[in-house]
Amino acid sequence: DLVIFVVQLQCTLLDIHALLDYIKILHPLLADPCSKPVGANPTWMGCFTKCTETCERLYFAGVPVWLIRYEDFIPPTMNIVLPVWLTFTDNIVRAMY
């Protein structure tokens, strides 16, 4: 029972830490975006999105972000640094993705 309590406490504390980071760091950058991108925070996990507007806002706020697109829908004017092919290992549940 003690191990489960400690695990739940750690999870709750990480949630609180993430919320405080969002309120203190990310929300002001999203509310009043900079004209140049802020350096990405290496301690953040980042996110995946299909929306270009969301991707741009998060990128300018310094959030590591990956834009998911089918190759057919990528406009020729879009700057692609490095295309990444989505792969799955045999040990994960694919229904989640």
CB-based contact 25:40 (threshold 8 Å): no
Q: What is the pTM of this model?
A: 0.65
Q: For residue 95, is pLDDT > 70?
A: no
The angle formed by the CA atoms of residues 29, 33 and 34, to the nearest 5 degrees, is: 105
Burial state string for 51-77 with b = 16 or more CB within 10 A and e = fewer than 16: eeeebebbbbbbbebebeeeeeeeeee
pLDDT digits (tens, 9 = 90+) for 64-88: 998 888 888 888 888 888 888 777 7
Between 40 and 27, residue with greater pLDDT:
27
Helix (H) or strand (E) holding 65: strand 65-67
Domain residue spans of the chain: 1-32, 36-97
Q: What is the pLDDT of residue 73?
A: 85
* 2 or 85, higher pLDDT: 2
